[in-house]
Amino acid sequence: MRQTYSSAQAEKGDKVICPVEGTVIEVNENTPFLEIGNKKYYICCRSCAEKLKADPGKYLEDEFKLSDEEWRQRLELEQYEIMRQKGTEQAFTGKYWDHKEKGVYRCAACGLPLFSSHTKYDSGSGWPSFFAPANEAAVINRPDDSHGMERIEVLCRRCGSHLGHVFGDGPKPTGTRYCINSAALDFDKADE
């Protein structure tokens, strides 16, 4: 079985990411899909199909291969500096570091669901901290030796934006701490 993150190229048995919800789907003969242009995009449910059909540019990877100038126009200054220039907001200043509402944290650049409030905890670091992503396929972990430190950078899988770093000092059950910049996140509150 191959693992791919571009559902437009998927074959039976591949694992893909729903472009709307970010969940992992194993492609089989019953997996729902939409044809857009000459490509097939697998989705996890009817609701996602409706969202994708209504606004494909919002959810498809190709939409997020932008030039530096396009990113500057799309993002606020702080978001651009953090997400495209690998900056960091000051501790205890971001809007989500002490945020306690229930819901989903999405990438501020492309909308991909990244983290759930169920995995958020107070690490004392001053940044939003999560012990796991919404699903492992939503983020990319990459070695980062900038600033004379050895760390693991966290990137959004869909648009490649810098989110923060992941460390091995988190709580159970994973033992990891995803330390994420608030400016890299948007939040969707859960329905009551």
Annotated catalytic sites, by residue? 179
Q: Beta partners for 156?
A: 139
The total number of residues shown for the chain amounts to 192
DSSP E strand stretches across 86-156: 103-107, 113-116, 120-121, 129-130, 139-144, 151-156
